[in-house]
Chain A
Amino acid sequence: MATESNLAHNDQPNPGRRDFLYVATTAVGVVGVGAVAWPLINQMNPDASVLAMASTEFDLGSVEEGSSVTIKWRGSPVFVRHRTAAEIEEARAVPMGELKDPEEDQARVKEGHDQYLVMVALCTHLGCVPVGDSGEFGGWFCPCHGSEYDTSGRIRKGPAPKNLVVPPYQFLSDTVIQIG
């Protein structure tokens, strides 16, 4: 066919130059597609109003010794417990061999602030909120499937695989913490 013969590739005066044009244009096109695709995917990432809630400050002064408070952080509940000396001692006396998820109590609190325990209040089994001051280990008991946590929030009995998660937090002052 007449048009087919017009498409013969070797009648270009400079085939190398032709190829460069096509390669360069394709490369520019690919960059364009990527530049368009990224924002369309990135829009699904947490938006500015969600990220603004990424950290929460809390004043520990309101938590009396021997009591717990549940606050919200990144949409999840967080236990803040002001432990008594007895609770701390009990936690420190547990041998590592007895723990499903061995962790020293000291590793779960901040130095100099051992009385404050901050943990994400979701059972590490399937995510239910455990009940405080219950269970045979003096800590928390999860009603869903019977997991029991001790006075350091570590798993002692039941199907949960890990200790209650300690979120990243820091003391901004003696009484104010910032979680996240």
Chain B
Amino acid sequence: MSSHNSTYNPTNPVEKWLDDRLPLVRFGKEHLLDYPTPKNLNYWWTGGAILTFMLGVQIVTGIVLAMHYTPQIGLAFDSVEHIRRDINGGRIIQATHAVGASMFFAAVYLHIFRGLYFGSYKAPREILWILGVIIFLLMMATAFMGYVLPWGQMSFWAAAVITNIFAAIPVVGDPILQLLRGGFAVDNPTLNRFFSLHYLLPFIIAAVVGLHIWALHVPGNNNPIGVEVKSERDTVPFHPFYTMKDFFAIVVFCIPFAWFVFYAPDILGHPDNYIQANPLVTPPHIVPEWYFLPFYAILRAIDFNFILDSKLLGVIFFGGSILILFFLPWLDTSKVRSGTFRPAFKWFYWVFVANFILLTWYGAQTPDMKIIGSFTVADTSKLSVLYYFGYFIVILPLLGRFEKPRPLPNSISEAVLPASATH
């Protein structure tokens, strides 16, 4: 726990009785109210609260939807329409859940990219970062399975294509594929188990989030200048300063959220998912939801054989693109934590962001689409894959050695004193 001693002193006998048996109030006070937080956190630090809020929204709307949804291939599509048409408030609740998934990922990308810029993954927060990557993986699994449930054309074919990835594994690939699908093709057994797991995983996410926050509270929060908290003067209590700031951020976040839910609930989705799943007809253009596009682009970019066949190689790059994140704390060799004081790093970082968005765009195009001259998406996306991996494997390790960082302030208070607060 933090080096901060609890100031909780239960006064009335009921509180004392509870505190002796299960110190919930003490725990809440220490970690949610009094918790000393760096006073210079900017809005990029509201991501955690927004994500917790979104997890709550998805779980609540999801449980409500599960009261009315039927996970059977002949009934699933109609049951979702039944929710939209007949259930009181059903259209809004369903739209909140569907749009909510996109908002959840938008927030998680902001949160991850904050971590990448400010060096939040560096010692002593490696476990915090690793738990975060685990949460990200769980979120992707949850979202993938959730998208299958309405049993539209995209639902079915996304399930077919992505489960097929496992067939790429040599020797055990096909048996694993059949185990996953519960059959020879994506069918009712697949849908049923995806429903069960889609309901389960968010609670596992919640548990890992608990560990994530615990792992945060041991060293304490990072901050925009990356200089650790030196004294109480560098901090403010979490409540009311950050509770209210986070609350404000959540309300602002809800504005684009509500904009989509009420005015354009299907704009982030694909019209083909309003066609019932047909195993005999593949849609002309299978696209995953936008938040999977960068990784889908990486998977597709590997269309050549090199020692291994392209399918397996593609899967390795696909998995590798996320697994590499686990090693980030050790790949970035710089002693300086925050990008604020790393002028060379900043350039590579922003190129990484732009490249990531480019990869997202690539994921939505067909590989044969022309980009420049006769170079197609299939050609140029390889460059993006190269930069993506190069950033982690080559650039960050070398930058640490050769970069000249700007001088760091001695403390947060010192950095904040000239009244130009960046909150």
Contact = CB atoms under 8 A, between A and B. Distances in A.
Interface of A: 1-3, 39-40, 42-45, 47-50
A150 B68 CA distance: 42
A44 B236 CA distance: 43
Given A3-B237, A44-B67, A49 B86 contact: yes
28 contacts: A1-B233, A2-B232, A2-B233, A3-B39, A3-B235, A3-B237, A39-B89, A39-B93, A40-B64, A40-B93, A42-B88, A42-B89, A43-B64, A43-B67, A43-B68, A43-B87, A43-B88, A43-B89, A43-B90, A45-B88, A47-B86, A47-B87, A47-B88, A47-B90, A48-B85, A48-B88, A49-B82, A50-B86
B371 interface: no
A2 B88 CA distance: 53
B252 to A, nearest CB: 14
Contacts of A3: 39, 232-233, 235-237
Contacts of A45: 88
A47 to B, nearest CB: 4
B207 interface: no
A73 B61 CA distance: 32
Contacts of B235: 3
A39 B233 CA distance: 45
B66 to A, nearest CB: 11
B92 interface: yes
- For the complex of A and B, 7 pairs with smallest distance between CB atoms: A39-B89, A48-B86, A47-B86, A49-B86, A47-B87, A42-B88, A1-B232
Residue from B88, B93, B233 whose CB has the most chain A CB atoms within 10 Å: B88
Interface in B77-106: 82, 85-90, 92-93
Contacts of B87: 43, 47-48
Interface of B: 39, 60-61, 64, 67-68, 82, 85-90, 92-93, 232-233, 235-237
A18 to B, nearest CB: 12
Given A1-B232, A39-B88, A48-B85, 15 more contacts: A1-B233, A3-B39, A3-B233, A40-B61, A40-B89, A40-B93, A43-B68, A43-B90, A43-B93, A47-B68, A47-B86, A47-B87, A48-B86, A49-B86, A50-B86
A40 B60 CA distance: 8
Contacts of A40: 60-61, 64, 89, 93
Nearest to A38: B89
B84 to A, nearest CB: 11
Contacts of A49: 82, 86
Residue from B82, B85, B86, B93 whose CB has the most chain A CB atoms within 10 Å: B86
Nearest to B65: A43
Contacts of B86: 47-50
Contacts of A48: 85-88
Contacts of B85: 48
B92 to A, nearest CB: 7
A113 B68 CA distance: 42
Contacts of A1: 232-233
A115 to B, nearest CB: 39
B246 to A, nearest CB: 14
A49 B82 CA distance: 9
